[in-house]
Amino acid sequence: MMKNIQNIKFKFLLVLLVGIVFTSCEDTLEDVRENPNTVTTIDDAPLFANAVRSLFGGTLDQGTVRFAGMHAHYYVAGSTSRQPDQYIDGFDGNYNSVLNGTYNGVIRHSEEVLLLTSNEETPNTVRYAMADIINVMGFARITDGFGEIPYTEGGKGKSEDILTPKYDTQQFIYTDLIARLTASINVLKTADPAMAYPDSDPIFDNDLNKWVRFANSFRLRLGMRLRYADNALSQQIVSLSLADPLMEDNSHNAFMIQTEGQGNGWYGNRTGYPSIKMSTFMVGKLENTADPRLAVFVMQDENGNYTGQKNGLNDVAFGQSDFASKSDMGLALSSKESKMYLMTAAEVYFLRAEAALAYDNEPAVANDIYRMAIETSLRQWNVGAAEITNFLASPIGTLTGTTLEQEEQMGTQMWIALTPDYFEGWSHIRRTGYPVIEERTDSDLERGVTNGIMPKRFLYSSFELSSNGTNASEAIARQGANKIDTPIWWDKN
């Protein structure tokens, strides 16, 4: 009997407690409904910051470290990581990682910001423009690596439930990327910084003037990328870009310092296993012209010399090469606090110099801008004033010879100045043909699957071909065989 009474009391107390909680919840919910200061939307600022950080992180993804950096002959990796340097294939998982890494990072985060800032209830055209610039740069990187990619439907799996997105032609993608940049530039020219990201801008700390210069400089890069694929459009975009503010000095450079974890990823690549050694090709270009950036980009070996590792050696020759004794990547590039770059004023001056020579037929103007490009690059790496003066007074400091010889001179210097953005260096070589990466014919060199020609693109992985086969196959039919020596649309050299 006592037990039953206790049970009745317990049930009564339980009902009373539930009633109190329910009433309290109702009151709380009513307060939320009536409180105008309650947060009811997602803060897009952290998403924007994550998109930016992902974009910088992409400069150190496998597409750069494992492929582009060696294809462009900046360095050579040890152990099995050097296999792409032999122009062989079989890196299915790596290619899939490069593609999905950008979609799941830069594209996904920036797409979320674009959705939130275009919401009818809380629109913000300034934040939308900034996020769109990051989104454009993410897509540009993917298409420059693979060629045709899912673009208009790409990255829409979660937001629009598009699981098998169609592929767009690179010509269409480039045209649309440029149009989007133009729209963003026009918004940011007169934008109120208070509407931007006062506390969540990892690049320019909410300086919208620098954002305009950044976006316009990137538009210039894309415009020049079209030079051999669509010359008329290229000239139109270049002219448009030259009419707006561009990056003009190193205070405009788009960089970030990684403060989390191990810091700059090149630190781990230099100090970890397998190690990376600077290439004979890179060391030679710097040493043969007494370039003061040699001591910046390359460390001395144990004998106090700058000794590069030859790219493309077959297994026997590599085993005899004494790889461990060769020069490491310079500390300015590979310390924990080293800067990661998306774009610099030096690159912009080189693009302008090329345009002056190719489109305006003004060699004197091109030479002046070319010299400014070199000086800006040297200043970027804190080269002293006397060394800058001496280098500019050397033969390399003035454009000479035929137009083609001047373009090669200019192209080689731009390839050097792009360090450490090795992916962009690879794209630069594919577009311009400079510096010339000779076809491999020596017996100690591996010719790989390209017959000794520098690889032109990444492959669509077997996962992509199986999960989105119809669309991927249509892209291959338009673009050419799914091989690393198939050039993408803008690659005509």
Residue 81 sits in a domain whose CATH number is 1.25.40.390
Of the residues 299, 334, 369, the one at which a domain ends: 334
Count of domains observed in the chain: 2
CA quadruple 73, 429, 375, 206: dihedral sign: negative
- The answer to the question of residue 340 being in a domain is no
* H/E stretch holding 190: none
- The answer to the question of residue 194 being in a domain is yes
Per-residue pLDDT tens digits for 186-242: 999 999 999 999 999 999 999 999 999 999 999 999 999 999 999 999 999 999 999
- The answer to the question of residue 400 being in a domain is no
> Which pLDDT does position 56 carry in this prediction?
94
Of the residues 319, 334, 349, the one at which a domain ends: 334
> Which pLDDT does position 159 carry in this prediction?
63
Q: Specify which residues 28 forms β-bridges with.
A: none
> Which pLDDT does position 157 carry in this prediction?
61
- The answer to the question of residue 259 being in a domain is no
Give the structural domain span for 325. 265-334
Q: Phi, psi (5° rounding) for residue 382? A: 60, 35
The secondary structure of 268-310, three-state, reads HHHHCCCCEEEEHHHHHHHHCCCCCCHHHHECCCCCCCCCCEC
Q: Are 80 and 143 contained in the same domain?
A: yes
* Entry pTM: 0.90
- The answer to the question of residue 24 being in a domain is no
Q: Are 163 and 110 contained in the same domain?
A: yes
- The answer to the question of residue 393 being in a domain is no
Q: Are 119 and 146 contained in the same domain?
A: yes
Q: Kindly tell me if the per-residue pLDDT of 31 is higher than 50.
A: no
- The answer to the question of residue 89 being in a domain is yes
Q: Are 139 and 285 contained in the same domain?
A: no
Lookup: tokens for 106: 């830069």
Mean predicted confidence (pLDDT) in 386-413: 97
* H/E stretch holding 475: helix 469-479
Per-residue pLDDT tens digits for 323-356: 999 999 999 999 999 999 999 999 999 999 999 9
Q: Are 242 and 269 contained in the same domain?
A: no
Least Cα distance to 317 among 450, 448, 445, 447 occurs for 445
Per-residue pLDDT tens digits for 412-440: 999 999 999 999 999 999 999 999 999 99
Q: Are 119 and 186 contained in the same domain?
A: yes
Q: Are 177 and 301 contained in the same domain?
A: no
Q: Kindly tell me if the per-residue pLDDT of 444 is higher than 90.
A: yes
Q: Are 98 and 159 contained in the same domain?
A: yes
> Which pLDDT does position 342 carry in this prediction?
97
- The answer to the question of residue 288 being in a domain is yes
> Which pLDDT does position 32 carry in this prediction?
35
Mean predicted confidence (pLDDT) in 52-64: 93
